[in-house]
Structure 1
Amino acid sequence: MSIRVTIWNEGRHEQTNEKVRAVYPKGIHGALAEGLSEEGIATRTATLDEPEHGLTEAVLADTDVLIWWGHMAHDQVQDDIVARVQRRVWEGMGLIVLHSGHFSKIFKRLMGTSCDLKWREADEKERIWVVDPSHPIAAGLGEYFELPQEEMYGEHFDIPAPDELVFVSWFEGGEVFRSGCTYRRGQGKVFYFRPGHETYPTYYNENVLKVIRNGVRWAAQARGAKPVYGNAKPLEPIRPKE
C-alpha cells in the first residue's frame, strides 16, 4: 500500500522570478513530486491559486502526509483551510514543513510561537550534521552532508523544544541552526526541515530528497504504515520459544 503524499506549494516565485523559474521549471512542487516518487510513495500536488488552495476536504482525507512550502504569500492562505489542515493533523495526517514554511500559518498555529529566526541570503555553504543517527529520518546518511549554496537561517529559532532533534546546520558565517525537528500534535507527526531556498537547486539534491522520503515514511506511521527506511530491512518480530 503506497503512502499518499500531497505536496503543497504557494507557487508564486515561479510565476514572478525568472531565476526561480529557470531552477524549477515545473515549480518547486513539481520537482519534489518527481524527486520523491518511488515504489511505496504516491504523490500529488496542490498550489495556492487552486480553488480551496487545492486542499479540499476530499484531498486531505486522501492524504497520509502533507508537504508544505511557502514564502511570500503566507497571509493569503485562508484561515478556514489552515483550520482544516490542523484538524487533519490532529486526526493523524503527517505534516512536513520545508524551509520558509516555518512562517506559515499552519506551522505557527501548531507550534504556538512566533517561529521567528535570523536569516541572510549570501550563497553560503551549509553543512547539515546528523545529531541523531538512530532516528529513522536520518537513515542512509553519513555524519553530515553539505549544500554548496543556501540561504542562512540562524538561532534563535523561536519554536518549542523539539520532541526530537535530528539535524543541526552550520554555515560559513559561523551560525548554527536546529534544522531538523520533530513534533507530535494530536495523533499526527510533524517534521520541520530547513533547506530549500527557491533560487538554489536544493530539491534536486539526493541527500535532501532522502531526508524528505524518510520523513514521509516516518510521518505516515501515524496511520499504521510499516515503512522501510533507506536500504534498511524491517526487523522480524521476536517470537517466544516453543
Structure 2
Amino acid sequence: MTATELVIHGVTLTAGAQRLVQDVTLTAHPGEVVGLVGPNGSGKSSLLRAVYRVLRPVEGHVTLDGADAWSLPVRQLARTVAAVVQESSADFDLLVREVVAMGRTPHKRLLAGDTAEDALLIEEALTTAGVSGLADRPFDRLSGGERQRVLIARALAQQPSLLVLDEPTNHLDVRHQLDVLSALRRLSATVLVALHDLNLAAYYCDRLYVLCNGEVTASGPPAEVLTPRLLADVYGVRSEVAVHPRTGAPHVTFIPEEAGPGGDRVVHAPVERA
C-alpha cells in the first residue's frame, strides 16, 4: 500500500433544508491515522460519506493527492479509497473468502479470475482482520462482529491508499477492537476513522478532529485536544484526563453526575409521597 494525502476544504453538506456539516476543513497527511470524534449527530458519518463519494458537498471540495475526489473515474477512486461503513446492509450469499475477494475487483479486468498475487493478498487480509478461521463459512450466518471484521478484511484486500472507516469497532469485543485498530496503525495507507471511544482514539490516532453540531470544534494531537473543558463543552459531561502510566496516551475518566466532589457516590434519599 502507498498513502494518499486527503484534504477536505471548506466542505458543507446538506440533506434537503437540513445542514449536516458546515465549512469543515481537515487534512490527513500520508500514512497518518486521523480520528473523527464527537457526539451522535455531530456530522462524522456525513463527512466520511463526502470522502468516499456518497454525499456530494454543496460547498468546498475533497481532494486526494491534489485531485478532486468527485472528478476521479470510478475505477481510479475504487483503487484509491476503501470504506467500511457503520451500518452495512450487506447480506451476501457468499463464503467469507469470496466476500473478501471482492476487494480485489478494482484491480482486475472484467470477469478475470484471481491471480496468485490476489490469493496472497486475500489471505493476508483474512489474517490481519482475524477472520482466517471463518474463511469457508457463509457470510450471512455470521454474527454482527464477525461480519464487521470480514468487511474490514475486504477493505484491506482492496489495497487502498486511503482507508475510511465509520465506527469500525462497533459490535466488536474488546480483544478484536484492539486487534483491528492495531492493524490499522501498521498500515502504510492513510486512515480516516470515526470513533466513539475516546480512549481508543487517544491511543491509536495521530491527530483528532472534534465535531460538534456539524462544525470542527478542535483539532490536533490527542493530548492537546482531549481536555476536561472541551469534553464538558462538547459532550456535556464531567471528566478527568490524565496520562496513562503504561501507554503514555491521554486517558479519559468520565465522572457520573451522582458522584460527589471526592468521587464518592451520592445516594439520594427516597422521596416520600403522600
TM-score by length of 2: 0.27
Higher relative contact order (CA 8 A, sep 6+): 2
Give TM-score, length-normalised by structure 1: 0.30
Larger Rg: 2
